[in-house]
Chains A and B, each alone.
Chain A
Amino acid sequence: MISKVISGNEAVALGVKLSRVKVIAIYPITPQTYIIEELAAMRDKGELDAEVIRVESEHSAMAAVYGAASAGVRVYTATASQGLLYMHEMIWWVAGSRIPIVMTVGTRAVGAPWNIWNEHTDFMSERDSGWLMAFASTPQEALDLTIQAFKISEDERVFLPMMVGMDGFILSHTKTRVYIPSQEEVDSFLPSRKQPYVLDPEDPVDIGNMFQPIDYMKLRHSMHLAILNSKEVIREIGKEYEKKVVPVGSYSSLNESYKLDDAEYAIVSMGAWSLDAMQVVDELRNMGVKIGLYRIRYIRPWDEEDIKRKLGDKDGILVFDRSVSFGRGGHLYLELKATLPDVNIKGIVTGLGGVAIGKDVISSLTRKFIEGKTSDEWFYPSEVEKVELRNPRYIK
C-alpha cells in the first residue's frame, strides 16, 4: 500500500486496473472523462491487460460491456448525466439479465438547460433499475467502493450490476491523499470472475428471450430478494476489504454514523458535502446541541433496519438532498420519510446544478431547523429571484 495525492477520477481508474478488468468501453462525458483517459493511457503503456473499446455512444458503452460480460469477462465503464440517461435502456437490460457489471457515475446535472456541474438527480433516476448503488464521499472511498463493487456484484447471493456515484468535479477533479493498495492485496481480496450465465457454444444458453408473465414476475421478485440479500454481502465484503486491502476506511456497515448515539437531532446526507456536515455537527456540539450525522452510502440496498435503529428515536431529522423528484421533494427525504413515518423529518433540496453549498449554509439551515423556524423546502442563494418564462404566444 502506498499513498498519493490524486483526484477521484484517478483513484477510480487505479481501482479498475487493480481489479483486473478485461474489457472496458469508453465514451467521453464530463466529468468522468479523465477516468477513461487514464485507462486508455494505462492500456497504451501496457500497464493494463484489457481490451478498450472506443464506442460511439453511451447506449453502446453499456451494450458493449454487457456483451463482454455475458461472454464471461470482468468489465467496466463510466458515465455521467446525459450519458447515464442515454444508456438508461441498457442499464435495465443488464440488471434484468442478472449480469454482474461495475460502472462509475460522476454525478452531474441533466439538461435542459446545459449545466456541467454537480447534482445527484442523474444518479437517483436509476434507483429503480435493479442495480446496486453506492455513493462515495471521498476519492479514497471511490477507489475502495469500486474494488468492492466487483466482488459484491459477482457474489452469487447478488448477481446484479453495481454503480458507484461520485460528486462531479467536487470529487472527480479534487486531489486528496489516497491510499492505493498493492496488486497483491487486491488479488488476495478479489477472486476471478463468477457469473450465472456465460455464453459459450459448448453450453448453449439463451439470455433475455421472451418470458411468460409469471416467470417474468418471478425474475423481478428474485431481483428484489437479491437487493435485500446484498446488505449482508456488503457488510461481509466490507469487513474483508478492511482486513485485506485498505485498513483506513470503515466498511463494516452500509451507511456511516457520526456522533449519533446520544444525539437528539440528526442531519442526513450523501456524498462529498457530508464531510462539511460533519464539521457542522462538531460546531453545533461545541455550542451544546446534541446532534449527529447519518451518511447514506448505499441507496440500493436501502438499509431500513439500520436507519430505524439509528434514527428512530430522534427529535428531529434534517435531510439534505442534491436531487429532486419534482412536485414531491428530495429523493433521500422521500426514502427517509417512508422509513420513519412518525419521526419529525424535514427535507431541503439544495445544491442543484452546482450551486455551492458549504459548511456555513448547512450550519445555518440546521440551526434554523432546530430552532423550529420554518424554512422553505428549497434553498438557494437569493441573488436570482426567479427564472421568468416569456409571455405566452398563441400560435396560428
Chain B
Amino acid sequence: MSLGIRDILNKPRLLPGTSACPGCPENIALKSISMALGENAVFIVVAGCSSIIQGMGPKSTYNYPVLNIAFAAGPAAAAGMAKAFKMRNKDIKPVVWAGDGGTADIGFASLSGAAERNDNILYICVDNEAYMNTGGHRSGSTPFGARTASTPGGKKENKKDLPLIMMAHHIPYVATASVGYLHDLMEKVKKARSIEGFTYIQVLTPDPYGWMFDPSKTAEVGKLAVQTCYWPLIEYENGKLTISQESMHCLDKRTRKPIEEFLKIQGRYKGVSQEVVKGLEEYIEKMWERIKSIYEGKVIL
C-alpha cells in the first residue's frame, strides 16, 4: 500500500505547540494517525493525556473537530455520531481516541457494546500501560511486574489481552501497532478507515515518565517492545490473522531478542527479580502460542 507520505505531511493535523510532555508517544501517534486519516476525520477523545495535549480551550492544537468526553462514554458517543453522519449523508467514520484505562477498565462495557453492534467507528487505544495522566497508576493493561504509583511492589497480574478480546467480538478489523513503527501504524489506520463497521487498533505508546526512560528514546523503546516480542504486531481481518513483517521473527522463540533488553531500558522494571523476568517470558511465550494457533488456523475465533 502506498502511503503518499509526502502529500499528507503538507497538511498537519496536529499543530505545533501542544501541551504534551517531551518525548510523548501519544503526540507521535496522534500526528501520524490524523495524517493517515486525511480530511474527513472527527475525533472523540475520552479523558486522558490527549484531553490535555490539545491545550486550553477555546483554542486547540488539534486541527480537526474533537469531541472531548467523559471516561466511559467514547464508543457510545462515536456510535451516535456515526448514525448522525449517516443521516446527514456524510462519509465520516468517527475515531475514538482512548487510553488503556479508558479501554480495558472503565470504558470496556461501552467498547464491547459498540463492537457487538458493529457500529461504523474506528477505535484507537493508545496503550501506555497505566493511568499516566492521573499519575501513573496501574490499569488492566499494565504488564506483570511493572511498578506503578499504585503497585509500588510491582503488578501481580498479567496484562489484559485486549486485542484478542476484541477479535472475539467478531468485528471486521483488529490490529496492533507501535509508535516504534509509524509506517506500519499508518498503513493499518488507512486500512481500518476504508473498512465499514467497527475497527480496533491498539497502539503501544511507551511513556517516558511512567516507564521512566529518557524522553529521547520513545521510538527506541517502541521498537524494542516489538523486537523482544513483548508487543506483537498483528492484524485480524474477516476472521483471518496475519502477523506484520516486523513481528514475523517472533513465531520462533530462538529469533526473539531477550526480554531483558526491553526491561533494562525502563525504570519501572529496575532491579526486579529473576522471577518477574521469568513471569514475563512465560507471558510472552503463551501469548505467541495463542497468536500462532490462530495464525495457523488451529484455533478459530
A→B interface (CB under 8 Å): 22-23, 25, 50-51, 53-57, 59-73, 75, 89-90, 93, 199-201, 203-212, 215
Q: What are 30 sample pairs from A and B whose C-beta atoms fall under 8 A apart?
A: A22-B87, A23-B84, A55-B76, A56-B109, A56-B110, A57-B110, A60-B109, A67-B80, A68-B83, A70-B77, A71-B81, A73-B87, A75-B80, A89-B72, A199-B81, A200-B65, A200-B90, A201-B39, A204-B63, A204-B64, A206-B60, A206-B62, A206-B65, A209-B54, A209-B60, A210-B51, A210-B54, A211-B56, A215-B56, A215-B57
User: Does B117 belong to the interface (CB within 8 Å)?
Assistant: yes
B65 lies within 8 A of A204 (CB): yes
Contacting residues, chain A, for B116 (C-beta < 8 A): 56
Instruction: Contacts A68-B81, A69-B80 known; list 13 others, CB within 8 Å.
Output: A53-B83, A56-B110, A60-B75, A60-B113, A63-B80, A66-B77, A67-B77, A72-B84, A199-B67, A200-B65, A200-B90, A204-B64, A210-B54
Rounded to whole Å, the gap between the CB of B22 and the closest CB of chain A is 20
- Our pick among B55, B65, B74 for the contact of A201 (Cβ within 8 Å) is B65
Rounded to whole Å, the gap between the CB of A215 and the closest CB of chain B is 7
Taking CB atoms and an 8 Å cut-off, the chain B residues in 111-129 that contact chain A are 112-113, 116-117, 119
B94 lies within 8 A of A73 (CB): no
Q: What class of interface size applies to chain B in its complex with A?
A: 35 or more
How far, in whole Å, are A64 and B74 apart by their CA atoms in the complex? 9
A65 lies within 8 A of B51 (CB): no
How far, in whole Å, are A68 and B120 apart by their CA atoms in the complex? 13
Contacting residues, chain A, for B69 (C-beta < 8 A): 63, 66-67, 93, 208
Q: Which of B40, B76, B78, B119 has its CB near the most chain A CB atoms (within 10 A)?
A: B76
B66 lies within 8 A of A209 (CB): yes
- Our pick among A23, A59, A63, A203 for the contact of B83 (Cβ within 8 Å) is A23
Contacting residues, chain B, for A63 (C-beta < 8 A): 69-70, 72-74, 76-77, 80, 110
Residue of B nearest to A51 (CB): B83
B79 lies within 8 A of A199 (CB): no
Residue of A nearest to B72 (CB): A59
A68 lies within 8 A of B84 (CB): yes
Query: Total contacts A to B, CB within 8 angstroms?
Result: 164
B63 lies within 8 A of A67 (CB): no
Residue of B nearest to A60 (CB): B76
User: Does B86 belong to the interface (CB within 8 Å)?
Assistant: yes
Contacting residues, chain B, for A204 (C-beta < 8 A): 60, 62-66
B57 lies within 8 A of A206 (CB): yes
Contacting residues, chain B, for A207 (C-beta < 8 A): 66-68
How far, in whole Å, are A124 and B76 apart by their CA atoms in the complex? 26
Given known A67-B67, A71-B85, contact A55–B79 (CB-CB < 8 A): yes
User: Does B287 belong to the interface (CB within 8 Å)?
Assistant: no
How far, in whole Å, are A209 and B57 apart by their CA atoms in the complex? 6
A57 lies within 8 A of B113 (CB): yes
User: Does B52 belong to the interface (CB within 8 Å)?
Assistant: yes
How far, in whole Å, are A206 and B54 apart by their CA atoms in the complex? 9
B→A interface (CB under 8 Å): 39-42, 44, 51-52, 54-58, 60, 62-70, 72-81, 83-88, 90, 92, 94, 109-110, 112-113, 116-117, 119
Q: Which 8 pairs show the lowest CB-CB distances between chains A and B?
A: A56-B113, A67-B77, A60-B76, A67-B80, A68-B80, A208-B68, A63-B73, A64-B80
Contacting residues, chain B, for A205 (C-beta < 8 A): 65
Contacting residues, chain A, for B79 (C-beta < 8 A): 53, 55, 60, 64, 67
A23 lies within 8 A of B67 (CB): no
A89 lies within 8 A of B70 (CB): yes
Given known A22-B87, A60-B113, contact A199–B65 (CB-CB < 8 A): yes
Contacting residues, chain A, for B88 (C-beta < 8 A): 71-73
Contacting residues, chain B, for A67 (C-beta < 8 A): 44, 67, 69, 76-81, 84, 94
Q: Which of A75, A201, A205 has its CB near the most chain B CB atoms (within 10 A)?
A: A201
Residue of A nearest to B87 (CB): A22
Given known A54-B117, A60-B73, A204-B64, contact A211–B84 (CB-CB < 8 A): no
Rounded to whole Å, the gap between the CB of B105 and the closest CB of chain A is 14
Contacting residues, chain A, for B83 (C-beta < 8 A): 23, 51, 53, 64, 68
Rounded to whole Å, the gap between the CB of B26 and the closest CB of chain A is 15
Given known A53-B83, A89-B70, A209-B51, contact A215–B58 (CB-CB < 8 A): yes
Residue of A nearest to B86 (CB): A51
How far, in whole Å, are A61 and B74 apart by their CA atoms in the complex? 12
Contacting residues, chain B, for A62 (C-beta < 8 A): 73
Residue of B nearest to A52 (CB): B83
Contacting residues, chain B, for A73 (C-beta < 8 A): 84, 87-88
Residue of A nearest to B41 (CB): A201
Residue of B nearest to A92 (CB): B70
Contacting residues, chain B, for A25 (C-beta < 8 A): 76, 80
Contacting residues, chain A, for B90 (C-beta < 8 A): 200
B112 lies within 8 A of A209 (CB): no
B70 lies within 8 A of A90 (CB): yes
B110 lies within 8 A of A59 (CB): yes
How far, in whole Å, are A51 and B117 apart by their CA atoms in the complex? 13
Given known A204-B63, A215-B58, contact A64–B77 (CB-CB < 8 A): yes
Q: Which of B41, B54, B87, B116 has its CB near the most chain A CB atoms (within 10 A)?
A: B87
